[in-house]
């Protein structure tokens, strides 16, 4: 697999990158001469390459421009310099684009370039027509293709161009006609909202128009409608959190949430109400945690929890503080995790909601278990289960992550039979609901509860690893890898835990490696 990027990729930080440098002056001169038939002295061609940063896209646009002027290298001086204050990326390419913007101003080609600036991807023709001032002319597309400003003029394909081209013309429109910029994105928001055949699509492919709708709605300044009517109601299906819980698409979720921030992940857009600002901040922190970016998640998660508590939204405050406790626990900050979990229990009791009392008590119980207080942890798990029976009489025992934490304590106390009984029951509840995380954790409990190395244990551990991978929750995957404990599993745990700062999992890794080495020594 090959992945190219203009920015460092945090998730691939441990993979040695191959730096792709710009061309040399000699290569740039040769490219202009052979590809675009630009003529002039070798010295002039090299000087042109240097003036455009020896950058491949800039030289491509320059070459196409000069090609329209009989290949005369001296015509490059007609292209005006950008102001010295303009230090944004792609400076040399944007210099040529700015020249084309003047050449095509008021023409169909300029209209198309302006329209492409409304998209962050190839533009479907029907959508593009919504933001054009005139008709979409094929002759203009051919001219833009010749100028290398678009990549294809195929009548059946979406119209694509280099990302820098989209960014440049989008920024021009926003700077020169903010009202038109927002109006165009508003049209596209309405268009993509109406595109899915179902109000709540099921697959990522079917949801894609709604992802586009969120982006366009936010660019249009319609953040509230994008968050409530599309992101919350149709993508996440309210409190079902469908995109993450059923599809495991935490990365996609984080990309959507970025549109609600002026500065990810610390400054939400100001035209959202304070409660919604806290909500998107907390949701972003939760996604960061699931993606293994634990250190990045702490500040926004704490800020969201404090903001929600300040607004006296006890239900949401209980959730936010419980999530923060779990995050701190993963980072090995057990004393903080216990203290924050106690706050979550207090807010849950203020909310008077049975489910929150369950959730927050099990969070505190797990933090106490990990800090060594097994007796108090067991008491809290029993208390939480009584609240669950009160609120969900059809589900009288703890399930999902809450059930896993209780079974983890039972296994630590040697009560394998009770852990088996519980996990068998809760797995039956989870499978029809397609709760990927719950399914993975139940299989993990069953794999740990069966005799080590037995066929039953191996089967459930395989299922646990597979389900947790599909759930997209990097913060939970090490649990299953540690239990299965192949050489490759342990190496992956070390990589994830080191990169993400998961100190508890890192400690478990060292213990597992010690057991592994002792076993090898006995075999010898």
Residue 458, pLDDT above cutoff 90: yes
- 351 pLDDT band, cuts 50/70/90, is very high
Q: What Rg do the C-alpha atoms of the chain give, in angstroms?
A: 28
Q: Would you state the pLDDT for residue 165?
A: 93
Q: Would you state the pLDDT for residue 70?
A: 86
Overall average pLDDT of the 20-24 stretch: 75
Q: Would you state the pLDDT for residue 374?
A: 96
Q: Would you state the pLDDT for residue 81?
A: 83
Residue 83, pLDDT above cutoff 90: no
Q: Would you state the pLDDT for residue 231?
A: 98
Q: Would you state the pLDDT for residue 520?
A: 75
Task: Extract the tokens encoding 394.
Answer: 């059809």
- Residue 36: which of 163, 148, 153 has the closest Cα? 148
Higher-scoring residue by pLDDT: 146, 2: 146
The listed range with the strongest mean pLDDT (36-45, 399-408, 511-520) is: 399-408
What mean pLDDT, rounded, does the chain reach?
Answer: 92
Q: Would you state the pLDDT for residue 14?
A: 57
Q: What angle do CA 83, 87, 92 make, to 5 degrees?
A: 75
Q: Would you state the pLDDT for residue 5?
A: 59
Overall average pLDDT of the 325-347 stretch: 96
- Residue 172: which of 108, 126, 116 has the closest Cα? 116
Report the SS3 class of residue 159.
Answer: strand
Residue 86, pLDDT above cutoff 90: no
Overall average pLDDT of the 27-55 stretch: 92
Higher-scoring residue by pLDDT: 3, 266: 266
Overall average pLDDT of the 53-79 stretch: 89
Overall average pLDDT of the 43-57 stretch: 91
Q: Would you state the pLDDT for residue 94?
A: 87
Element (H, E) at 263: strand 261-263
Q: Would you state the pLDDT for residue 373?
A: 96
- 19 pLDDT band, cuts 50/70/90, is low
Task: Extract the tokens encoding 506.
Answer: 């890192």
pLDDT digits (tens, 9 = 90+) for 153-167: 677 789 999 999 999
Q: Would you state the pLDDT for residue 152?
A: 72
Overall average pLDDT of the 35-45 stretch: 92
Overall average pLDDT of the 15-19 stretch: 62
- 2 pLDDT band, cuts 50/70/90, is low
Residue spans of the domains in the chain: they are: 27-103, 410-524
Report the SS3 class of residue 146.
Answer: helix
Residue 178, pLDDT above cutoff 60: yes
Q: Would you state the pLDDT for residue 391?
A: 84
- In order, the DSSP letters of 445-477 are HHHHHSPTTSHHHHHHHHHHHHHHHHHT-TTTH
Give the torsion sign (CA, 248, 277, 261, 123).
positive
pLDDT digits (tens, 9 = 90+) for 358-381: 999 999 999 999 999 999 999 999
CA distance 292 to 474: 5
């Amino acid at each position: 697999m090959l992945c190219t990027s203009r920015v460092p990729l945090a998730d691939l930080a441990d993979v040695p990158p191959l730096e792709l440098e710009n061309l040399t002056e000699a290569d740039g001169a040769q490219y202009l001469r052979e590809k675009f038939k630009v003529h002039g002295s070798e010295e002039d061609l090299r000087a042109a390459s240097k003036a455009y940063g020896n950058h491949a896209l800039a030289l491509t646009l320059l070459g196409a421009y000069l090609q329209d002027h009989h290949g005369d290298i001296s015509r490059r001086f007609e292209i005006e310099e950008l102001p010295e204050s303009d230090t944004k990326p792609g400076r040399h390419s944007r210099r040529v684009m700015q020249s084309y913007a003047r050449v095509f101003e008021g023409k169909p080609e300029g209209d198309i370039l302006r329209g492409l600036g409304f998209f962050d991807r190839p533009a479907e023709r029907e959508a593009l027509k919504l933001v054009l001032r005139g008709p979409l002319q094929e002759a203009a597309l051919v001219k833009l293709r010749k100028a290398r400003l678009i990549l294809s003029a195929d009548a059946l394909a979406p119209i694509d161009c280099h990302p820098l081209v989209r960014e440049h013309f989008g920024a021009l429109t926003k700077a020169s006609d903010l009202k038109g910029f927002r109006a165009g994105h508003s049209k596209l928001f309405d268009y993509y909202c109406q595109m899915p055949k179902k109000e709540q699509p099921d697959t990522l492919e079917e949801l894609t128009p709604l992802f586009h709708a969120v982006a366009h709605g936010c660019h249009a300044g319609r953040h509230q409608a994008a968050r409530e009517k599309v992101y919350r109601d149709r993508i996440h299906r309210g409190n079902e959190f469908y995109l993450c819980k059923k599809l495991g698409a935490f990365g996609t979720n984080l990309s959507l949430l970025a549109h609600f921030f002026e500065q990810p992940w610390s400054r939400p857009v100001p035209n959202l109400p304070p409660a919604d600002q806290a909500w998107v901040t907390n949701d972003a922190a939760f996604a960061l945690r699931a993606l293994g970016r634990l250190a990045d998640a702490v500040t926004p998660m704490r800020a969201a929890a404090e903001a929600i508590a300040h607004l006296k939204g006890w239900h949401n405050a209980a959730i936010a503080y419980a999530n923060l406790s779990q995050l701190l626990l993963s980072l090995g900050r057990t004393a903080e995790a216990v203290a924050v979990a106690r706050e979550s229990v207090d807010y849950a009791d203020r909310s008077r909601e049975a489910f929150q009392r369950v959730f927050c008590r099990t969070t505190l119980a797990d933090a106490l278990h990990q800090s060594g207080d097994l007796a108090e942890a067991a008491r809290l798990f029993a208390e939480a289960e009584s609240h669950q029976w009160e609120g969900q009489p059809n589900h009288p025992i703890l399930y999902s992550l809450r059930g896993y934490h209780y079974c983890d304590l039972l296994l630590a106390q040697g009560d394998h039979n009770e852990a088996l009984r519980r996990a068998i029951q809760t797995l039956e509840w989870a499978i029809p609901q397609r709760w990927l995380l719950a399914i993975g954790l139940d299989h993990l409990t069953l794999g740990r509860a069966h005799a080590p190395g037995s066929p039953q244990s191996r089967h459930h551990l395989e299922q646990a690893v597979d389900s947790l991978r599909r759930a997209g929750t990097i913060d939970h995957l090490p649990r299953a890898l540690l239990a299965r404990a192949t050489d490759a599993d342990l190496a992956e745990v070390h990589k994830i835990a080191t990169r993400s700062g998961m100190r508890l999992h890192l400690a478990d890794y060292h213990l597992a490696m010690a057991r592994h080495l002792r076993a090898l020594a006995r075999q010898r």
